Amino acid sequence: MTTDLSSITLPLTDKDVANYLRQHPEFFIDKPSLLADLTLPHQSGGAVSLVERQVSVLRERNMDMRHRLTTLIDNARQNDQLFEKTKRLILHLMEAQDITDFVDALMHSFTSDFSIPYTMLILFGEHIDESSLATTSNVQICSLSTAQPVLGTIISNNQTVCGQLDTGEQQFIFQDKSDRIGSTAITPIATSSPLGILAIGNSDPDYYRSSMNTLFLSYIGEVICRLLPRHLSQ
């Protein structure tokens, strides 16, 4: 006799459930979450496919949770390392005596600590003493009116961006190194008005992506915004 659960008057008995499952052996195929909630002791000497399936589901869940935990731990470790590097950089920037010390500390940190192959600091201003920065090729000084036609969107957005630049932007920022750049991250340096931009580049076109987290680079940009003006006024 076929048992139809919809026609059974509650409460159901163990026999009713057993009859239904016997007549519908495929019941658990599309319900893996239900298998994980069942308790069915495995009888030694006999293979119980339901137990094996339940163990498989639990094993998959366990592996997924382990993978998520490992990812969280790796992210936490990377963030901890970034924090330490950022802290050292900020302390060196605070200790800088002049614009030369300031730029040297920034470039040394990005090259040695952060292992960034290409860094450019572009400062907007006609009254900055270029001779004090003549020893570094990582700094470009130009007027805002000169930069605006090329970097207008980057400047006006006033937020950290990542990705690939167009040819004109890339050549303006990285100059003779522009053909080596595949992707870029740029953070603005601005107070009440734009002071410049800080750009970092990598030869890999997918290294800096629009979806990546820019928290630390944005933070460094904000610190530079607050510390740099004191050296520009000297």
Tens-digit pLDDT profile for the chain (234 aa)?
Answer: 555 555 545 677 888 888 888 888 788 777 766 766 665 555 555 555 676 777 777 888 888 888 888 888 888 888 899 899 999 999 999 999 988 899 999 999 999 999 999 999 999 876 566 666 655 678 888 888 999 999 988 888 888 999 999 999 999 999 999 999 999 999 999 887 888 999 999 999 999 998 888 889 999 999 999 998 888 765
- Whole-number pLDDT of residue 46: 53
Q: Which residues of 99-111 are buried (b: 16+ CB within 10 A; e: fewer)?
A: bbebbbbbbebbe
CB 173 within 8 A of CB 148: no
- pLDDT tens for 153-180 read 888 888 899 999 999 999 999 999 999 9
Residue 69: closest CA among 57, 79, 77, 80: 77
Q: What are the structural domains, with CATH classification, of the chain? A: 11-95 (no CATH), 98-232 (3.30.450.40)
- Whole-number pLDDT of residue 35: 65
- Whole-number pLDDT of residue 30: 76
Listing from the earlier edge strand, what are the strands of the sheet with 161-163?
139-142, 118-124, 194-202, 183-190, 161-163
- Whole-number pLDDT of residue 213: 85
- Whole-number pLDDT of residue 66: 87
- Whole-number pLDDT of residue 163: 93
Question: What's the length of the chain?
Answer: 234
- Whole-number pLDDT of residue 49: 65
- Whole-number pLDDT of residue 78: 87
Reduced to 3 states (helix: H, G, I; strand: E, B; else coil), residue 202 is strand
